[in-house]
């Protein structure tokens, strides 16, 4: 699987030259900062700094961009935990438990958990990439629209897992997201719900909508408090708690491993990537949990599941970039731009002729993950101080940064307008017990599911037996059915055994009281 | 007697809000479905729209009836609407004015008004917060964006 002489040459390339290493720490820091500012993200940072790489050799240029990618991949967790702002769609599931942990005063621990899970996930992703770069690329080529539809449908089932109170509210919120996501020109070229506005042809801007639903609506709720964390004693950034979080992540090896493997697999699929990986991993972890009622209320495994998956998907997306020359998302698309600037074209021929460089890139990424652990820990210590800022200054700061970030994404006022509209709707929904996360999941995955389903219908001519000719799709759909049925069967088994199923509902009032304490302070 | 009357009014308002939300969602879904059907009444165009709409209408009906019957355990306590609407109005005002008066002036006014709304009354503290933050945010954005921002001063 590994070409050992090429691996030795790659080590030689990395160790004989200091230039690829000099660019890594600033790259990581740039990625962390851009990832941590709501509205900005790693792809934006990579695009901004892309011209800088023109003066670099190919290897340092790619090392610089991948370090921004790695830093930004984790940086998104910082606002997700501290402010309920998933700066990118890859960090949506991190908010589910990260933010409740922060509200309970465990922000330092949650950030430590996220960093360790990110580093582990990214490292595992790159190790698998090193071992399996060729087979991963071949497997990706076997996936057609039906398989992509099955994966998107799997992500959509998270809607059923998310709601804590009313199933009907979760379902309606998810459908609302799907319908909002279908506004614009369909895959078939039909204009739907655009009101004749040119700005809506590409649909509702996804990231501004996501920021509005999650972050801005949360700011409206937060404005009644004085501080993010009610207890003054818990507001101090705690270096010890960050380190405890780093260690604690490894207490959940199953969650880490499952999240990382989901991340690599899903990340390798172009156009899907980290946005779906974190949701799938969270959904599977919650479905398999003995105590699913704890999720969404500050469960550390929720943070680990999300962060390990979104970071390991980096390895997967690099696999398709290197082996096929296909960018899996916007970050790898920028990297493809850097490839083009250096007259390099990714693909099977590039791998065959330059295996030493491919291995050097992967090994360099592995080293970046180790460096991220150190730089990220120091960065978190500074970032955790955010909870000390009084809410009367935090709320306007976050809203302004989010608004400017939305403007920078769309380049027009469509971004800020979407954010404000979704903020108002999100607040109204939250006040009435509707999970806004389900809206966002519907918004992100609904249009993708529709487009892939449409392509499948066109390819098959509408013949349902087409599915019998697609074994991978059948396997994915069977796995989906099994993952949906497994918790039901286990619950029935537990009830027959007269067991612990009753423990779960009791968790709710306990946390409610905790939340009430925060609210009242 | 004023407090119980006030609480009853707030409860009634919250109840109306709970009923109104699924009805508003149903109206939006109905409008979207009609618009999509008008664009093209084909299986390909409605393959996802039609099932989503059917499911939405059933769910909306269930939720509206349930909300009308009584309070729900997962709904938040009715909160005072005034400050929330005021903040939403400030945010909407910023969005409407940003391109007219310039991003710098718009952001500065928002950063002065919002902490004031949330309880900060010391003018020097307001200025010490709003001025550097505006400069940093607007100049930072100008530096990284490939297009120009409309500004009045910066």
| Cα–Cα distance for residue pair A71/A62, rounded to 1 Å | 14
Q: Could you tell me if B98 and B58 lie in one domain?
A: no
Asked if the model's pLDDT at residue B21 lies above 70, the reply is yes
Q: In whole angstroms, what separates CA A267 from the centre of its chain?
A: 10
State which of B22, B39, B69 marks the end of a domain: B69
> Count of CB contacts below 8 A, A vs B?
173
Same domain, yes or no: B64 and B96: no
Residue B149 located in a structural domain: no
Model pLDDT for residues B91-144, shown as the tens digit of each residue: 999 999 888 999 999 999 999 999 999 999 999 999 999 999 999 999 988 887
> Which chain B residues in 13-52 lie under 8 Å from chain A, judged by CB atoms?
17-18, 21-22, 25, 28-29, 31-32, 35-36, 39-40, 43-45, 47-49, 52
Number of domains in chain B: 2
In a domain, B133, yes or no: yes
pLDDT digits (tens, 9 = 90+) for A123-169: 998 888 888 876 766 776 777 888 888 877 877 776 766 655 677 88
The yes-or-no verdict on residue A513 having pLDDT over 50 is no
Binary contact (A432, B88; C-beta < 8 A): no
Could you tell me if B88 and B139 lie in one domain?
yes
| Domain identity same for B85 and B30 | no
Q: CA distances (Å), A22 to each of A45, A59, A339, in order?
A: 18, 12, 20
Which pLDDT does position B53 carry in this prediction? Answer: 95
Domain ends where: B69, B95, B114? B69
Co-location of B93 and B137 in the same domain: yes
Which pLDDT band, with edges at 50, 70 and 90, does B50 fall under? very high
**Do B30 and B52 fall into the same domain?**
yes
Residue B113 lies in a domain: yes
| Chain B interface includes A8 (CB < 8 A) | no
CB–CB of A372/A28 below 8 Å? yes
Q: Is B99 inside any structural domain?
A: yes
Q: Is residue B1 part of a domain?
A: no
Of chain B residues 55-94, which have a CB less than 8 A from chain A? Answer: 55-56, 59-60, 62-63, 66-67, 72-76, 78-79, 83-84, 87-88, 91-92, 94
Of A175, A221, A457, which is closest to B55 when you measure between CB atoms?
A175
The residue ranking higher by pLDDT, A65 or A336, is A65
For residues B63 and B111, state if they share a domain. no
What is the length of chain A?
521
Residue B74 lies in a domain: no
Asked whether residue B48 is domain-assigned, the answer is yes
CB contact A220 to B (< 8 Å): yes
pLDDT tens figures, A216-249: 888 888 888 888 777 777 677 778 888 998 999 9
CB proximity A369 to B under 8 Å: no
Which ranges constitute the DSSP H helices of A182-299? 206-211, 217-222, 239-248, 253-267, 274-288
Give yes or no: residues B140 and B118 share one domain: yes
At A142 the pLDDT is: 77
What is the per-residue pLDDT across A347-356, written as a single tens digit (0 to 9) for each?
A: 667 777 788 8
Same-domain check for residues B85 and B63: no
Residue B124 lies in a domain: yes
- Which of the listed residues B26, B47, B69 is the one where a domain comes to its end? B69
β-bridge partners, A191 = A185
Parent domain of B113: 81-144
A360 Cα to chain B: minimum distance (Å): 30
Query: SS3 for B72?
Result: coil
Neighboring chain B residues of A190 at a CB cutoff of 8 Å: 36, 39-40, 45
Tell me A213's DSSP state.
I
pLDDT at position A6 is 84
- A365-393 residue pLDDT tens: 899 999 999 999 988 888 777 778 898 99
pTM above 0.80, yes or no: no
Indicate the burial class of A485 (C-beta count within 10 angstroms; 0-12, 13-18, 19 or more).
Answer: exposed
B85 and B61 in one domain?
A: no
């Amino acid at each position: 699987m590994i070409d050992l002489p090429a691996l030795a040459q790659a080590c030689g390339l990395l160790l004989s030259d200091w230039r690829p290493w000099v660019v890594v720490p600033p790259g990581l820091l740039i990625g962390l900062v851009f990832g941590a500012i709501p509205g900005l993200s790693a792809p934006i940072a990579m695009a901004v700094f892309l011209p800088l790489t023109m003066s670099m050799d190919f290897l340092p240029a790619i090392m610089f961009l991948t370090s921004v990618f790695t830093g930004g991949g984790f940086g998104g967790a910082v606002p997700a935990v501290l402010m309920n702002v998933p700066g990118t769609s890859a960090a949506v599931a991190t908010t589910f438990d990260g933010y409740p942990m922060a509200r309970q005063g465990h922000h330092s621990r949650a950030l430590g958990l996220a960093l360790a899970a990110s580093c582990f996930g990214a490292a595992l992703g790159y190790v698998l990439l090193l071992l399996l770069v060729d087979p991963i690329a071949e497997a990706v080529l076997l996936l057609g629209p039906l398989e992509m539809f099955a994966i998107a449908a799997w992500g959509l089932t998270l809607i059923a897992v998310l709601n804590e109170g009313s199933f009907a509210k979760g379902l309606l919120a998810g459908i609302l997201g799907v319908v909002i996501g279908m506004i614009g020109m369909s895959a078939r070229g039909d204009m739907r719900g655009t009101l004749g506005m040119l700005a809506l042809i590409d649909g509702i801007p996804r990231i501004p909508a996501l920021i509005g639903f999650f972050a801005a609506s949360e700011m409206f709720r937060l404005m009644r408090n004085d501080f993010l964390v009610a207890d003054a004693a818990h507001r101090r950034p705690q270096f010890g708690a960050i380190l405890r979080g780093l260690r604690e992540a490894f207490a959940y090896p199953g969650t880490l491993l499952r999240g990382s493997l989901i991340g690599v697999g899903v990340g390798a699929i172009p156009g899907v990537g980290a946005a779906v990986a974190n949701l799938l991993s969270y959904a599977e972890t919650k479905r398999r949990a003995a105590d699913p009622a704890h999720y969404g209320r500050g469960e550390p495994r929720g943070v680990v599941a999300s962060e390990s998956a979104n970071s390991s998907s980096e390895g997967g997306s690099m696999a398709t970039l290197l082996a096929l020359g296909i960018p899996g998302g916007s970050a790898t698309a920028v990297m493809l731009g850097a490839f083009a600037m250096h007259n390099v074209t990714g693909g099977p021929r590039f791998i065959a002729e330059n295996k030493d460089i491919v291995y050097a890139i992967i090994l360099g990424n592995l080293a970046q993950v180790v460096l991220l652990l150190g730089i990220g820990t120091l960065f978190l210590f500074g970032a955790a101080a955010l909870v000390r800022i009084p809410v009367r200054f935090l709320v306007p700061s976050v809203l302004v940064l989010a608004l400017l970030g939305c403007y920078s994404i769309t380049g027009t006022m469509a971004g800020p307008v979407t954010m404000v509209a979704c903020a108002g709707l999100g607040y109204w929904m939250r006040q009435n017990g509707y999970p806004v996360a389900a809206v966002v999941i519907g918004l992100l995955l609904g249009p993708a599911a529709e487009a892939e389903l449409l392509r499948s219908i066109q390819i098959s001519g509408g013949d349902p037996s087409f599915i019998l000719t697609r074994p991978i799709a059948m396997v994915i759909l069977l796995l989906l059915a099994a993952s949906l049925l497994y918790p039901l069967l286990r619950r029935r088994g537990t009830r027959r055994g007269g067991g612990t199923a009753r423990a779960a509902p009791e968790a709710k009032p306990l946390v409610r009281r905790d939340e009430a304490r925060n609210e009242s302070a | 007697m004023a407090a119980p009357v006030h609480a009853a009014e707030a409860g009634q308002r919250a109840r109306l809000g709970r009923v109104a939300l699924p009805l508003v969602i149903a109206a939006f879904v109905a409008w979207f479905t009609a618009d999509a059907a008008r664009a093209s009444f084909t299986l390909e165009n409605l393959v996802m729209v039609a099932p989503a709409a059917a499911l939405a209408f059933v769910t909306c009906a269930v939720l509206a009836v349930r909300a009308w019957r009584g309070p729900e355990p997962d709904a938040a306590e009715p909160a005072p609407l005034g400050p929330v609407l005021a903040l939403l109005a400030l945010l909407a005002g910023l969005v409407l004015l940003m391109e007219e008066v310039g991003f710098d002036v718009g952001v500065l006014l928002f950063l002065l008004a919002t902490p004031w709304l949330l309880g900060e009354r010391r003018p020097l503290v307001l200025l010490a917060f709003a001025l550097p933050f505006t400069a940093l945010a607007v100049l930072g954005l100008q530096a990284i964006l490939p297009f120009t921002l409309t500004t009045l001063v910066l």
